[in-house]
């Protein structure tokens, strides 16, 4: 059985998470502040912590720092309020495993939890990363790097590239792409796909690396460098 520790000072959020996680068949423990949370982890038997950054007295970062002083193993998922890239960076530097920005849905948080647990179970840090030449897509973290540089894709752009990456070097038809990215099942004259192909190319192509090739009349294909010639 997997036990998840919920650390948040707001009772509403705590209860919601509690119910949701119990419903999803996790055991839960609750803590309303950092001190309680540290105690709970020390008592052992916690497989993952969900920690709100914004808490009075001991905030999420302080908790994380103190926890990591003794325990570098237990995974931690941070709940960050709003848009705070600094917070994110700071959290990851201190050893958080992932962060979720508010507002978020049940579905999203459950996905993140199972991704973290999957990683931590299979020992090391094997995240789901799709690679094609200089492109690395970390699906769990929703991050992309090309030649080691972070690239910013919108949700739709990301999804499109993800589908192409999953079928590297194989043809993906227009129909498949429309279905998997836009949930459009029927033929139509929409040009939204072409537009997004263009957006993605602009963001990841450069000089001698242009892996998204057109297969006229059929679809597109993401070519790995080996195949390119």
Partner DNA sequence: GAGCGATGACGACAATTCTGATAGTCGACG
Partner DNA sequence: CGTCGACTATCAGAATTGTCGTCATCGCTC
Told to check if 103 binds its own copies by CB under 8 A, we report yes
**C-alpha closest to that of 138 among 129, 151, 147:** 129
Told to check if 20 binds its own copies by CB under 8 A, we report yes
Cα 5 to Cα 117: distance, rounded to the nearest angstrom = 13
Binding region for its own copies (CB under 8 A) out of 64-72, 96-104, 140-148, 212-220: 96-104
**Which two three-digit tokens encode residue 31?**
């803590």
Q: Which of residues 141-180 bind DNA (CB under 7 A)?
A: 152, 154-157, 174
CB of 198 to DNA, least distance (A): 4
- 5 phi and psi, to 5 degrees? -100, 125
Told to check if 126 binds its own copies by CB under 8 A, we report no
CB of 82 to DNA, least distance (A): 5
- Cα 218 to Cα 112, 172, 190, 229: the distances in Å are 35, 8, 15, 21
Question: Where do the H-state alpha helices sit in the chain?
Answer: 11-23, 34-42, 60-70, 85-93, 106-121, 155-166, 174-177, 192-204
Three-state secondary structure call for residue 61: helix
Quick note: the x/- pattern for its own copies over 169-208, rule CB under 8 A, is ---------x---xxxxxxxxx------------------
By C-beta, is 62 or 104 nearer to DNA? 104
| Contacts with DNA, residue ranges (CB under 7 A) | 82-83, 103, 152, 154-157, 174, 182, 190-192, 194-195, 197-199, 201-202, 214-218
């Amino acid at each position: 059985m997997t036990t998840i520790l919920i650390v948040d000072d707001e009772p509403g959020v705590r209860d919601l998470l509690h119910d949701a996680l119990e419903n999803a068949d996790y055991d839960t423990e609750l803590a309303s502040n950092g001190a309680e949370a540290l105690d709970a982890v020390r008592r052992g038997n916690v497989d993952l912590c969900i920690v709100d950054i914004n808490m009075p007295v001991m905030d999420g970062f302080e908790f994380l720092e103190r926890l990591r002083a003794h325990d570098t193993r237990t995974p931690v998922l941070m709940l960050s309020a709003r848009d705070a890239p600094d917070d994110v960076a700071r959290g990851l530097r201190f050893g958080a495993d992932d962060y979720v920005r508010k507002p978020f849905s049940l579905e999203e948080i459950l996905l993140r939890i199972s991704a973290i647990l999957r990683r931590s179970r299979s020992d090391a840090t094997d995240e789901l990363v799709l690679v094609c030449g200089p492109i690395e897509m970390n699906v769990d973290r929703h991050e992309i790097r090309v030649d080691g540089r972070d690239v910013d894709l919108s949700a739709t752009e990301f999804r499109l590239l993800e589908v192409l990456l999953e079928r590297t070097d194989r043809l993906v038809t227009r129909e498949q792409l429309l279905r998997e990215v836009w949930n459009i099942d029927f033929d139509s004259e929409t040009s939204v796909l072409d537009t997004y192909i263009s957006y993605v190319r602009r963001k990841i192509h450069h000089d001698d690396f242009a892996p998204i090739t057109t297969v006229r009349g059929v679809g597109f294909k993401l070519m790995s460098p080996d195949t390119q010639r």
